[in-house]
Amino acid sequence: MNSSRMFRNLKSSEKLLLCLWKTPKLCRTLLSQAYQCQEAWNKRLQSPLLQKIKPVDFFLELDHKFQTQSRVSAVDIDIFSNSITNNSQIQELEDLLYKLRMSRETTFTLDSTHHAVVRFFLETGQAEQLLDVLNDRLNYGIFCDYFCYNILMDHFIEKGKFGLAAKTASLMMLQEEYKHPISNALAIYSCHKYLENADSWQEVDPETLKDPEPKEEVKIRVHYLRNPYFDDHFDLWKPSDLTGKTLYLIGQTMYDPLGRTCQLRGLLLYRKLIDAIALLKKWKQEGVKEVVYRDVLPLIKKDVPEIFGEEASDEAKELQQLLPDSETANLHQGNLETDIENLAKTAIDTYSQEDIDKQIKIYNEWEEKRMTVLKENLAELDRQARLAKIEQIKQELAEQEQVLTFFENEDKIELTIEQKLEKEKKIFGEESEVVQNLDENYVPPEIVRKRENQ
């Protein structure tokens, strides 16, 4: 009896361990909960301005305003983006952001608008959709600051979605924003973890999104042909190119073996063999000690196996000779993955409290600025309304003056009428209705009926 019960307990324990083994592991977050500044961010909803806003009604008002005036105010979009909390309003937010971007008011977009959009998508669990908005800079014009990049990368790292974290880091690179220590450390960590499973980020070739060529030959006259142009920055779309350039540019801000390792690995991912060769020669001439991590050499061969193949190009063969992969080479012996994690932890421990204090202060400044801009807009609208009222009064006074001084200015008025009729005659011709009205024999229909009754 006891032996059978023990056997069943062992089987249950075995099943439990099997389930735990199959359950995907979630990575812990690197940033602390305090870094989110959630309490300070939620205080915005207590402001008298946002408490008066009903997002559904306000959206309808803004949409009607755009339909009638073809413009929306940047501060109105900021108020809407800061007041919404329901994920059912994502489509409305995207619609307003697009309309703002297509108008001249986009130059006045407030910094708090960008931040509110990022936090709204994150808090509603639509972080992946947020990346599409951030990547479509032309139509939406939403750009992150360092704080937003940090919480966004940390979100994806916590979920174990390193491909999306690396994509976020590449957006930071495209903005050429790599001066913040925490952002740089998280970007390197995201790219390194993503490269362990490079299939987690699949990007679509822009050429495949174009309309297919017509089967029949169609000739179209064009004024000029635009030569193909590749800017090697915003035109990048391959994950390896984006990740490589991110590692390379951030590595340039570091002056240690880890920074040199990022530069070398980034250039090879980026397929910049000539630049990699020049960089290795430069380090050799300068006599740099512990040039790169020894751990990175097998990773490089995994990243770009075609460089080390039998049919490698002359540049690839020269690169192989320069790579310090021998046992006697002066390479850094530390653990690359551990040192990258320590870099992120050190940066967070050193600068996180500074970021928190700065962000709380910025939230208060944004609220004051929103009220200031709103008052300025209301004052401008009031000024325009008063000017329109003055113009209307001036027109009414001019009409009254014309009636009162008719007999004094009769000749002048007749001359003006004749000039106007001559002008219309040239435009409409002799048989126009205006010319017919000049016929002396013309009698209005109402007068004819009165004469018949008499």
Closest CA to 94 of 123, 121, 73: 121
pLDDT score, position 444:
61
Instruction: Name the DSSP letter for residue 25.
Output: P
Q: Report residues of the chain scoring pLDDT below 70.
A: 1-28, 204-215, 325-328, 428-454
Report yes or no: 355 and 35 within 8 Å, Cβ to Cβ: yes
What was the pLDDT predicted at 155?
96
Which residue shows structure tokens 């130059």? 107
**Residue tagged 């995994």 (tokens):** 302
Total-model pTM: 0.78
d(CA 253, CA 243) in angstroms, rounded, equals 16
Q: How many CB atoms sit inside 10 A of residue 105's CB?
A: 17
Which pLDDT belongs to residue 304?
87
Extended beta strands in 66-182, E state: none
Quick one: which of 74, 118, 91, 169 has its CA closest to 380?
74
State residue 446's pLDDT score.
61
Q: Which residues are within 8 A (CB) of 104 and not within 5 positions of it... i.e. 6 or more apart?
A: 71
Copy the structure tokens of residue 264.
């070398």
pLDDT at 23: 38
SS3 call for 332: strand
CA 274, 279, 282, 283 dihedral sign is: negative
Q: Residue 235's pLDDT is what?
A: 87
* CB-based contact 232:242 (threshold 8 Å): no
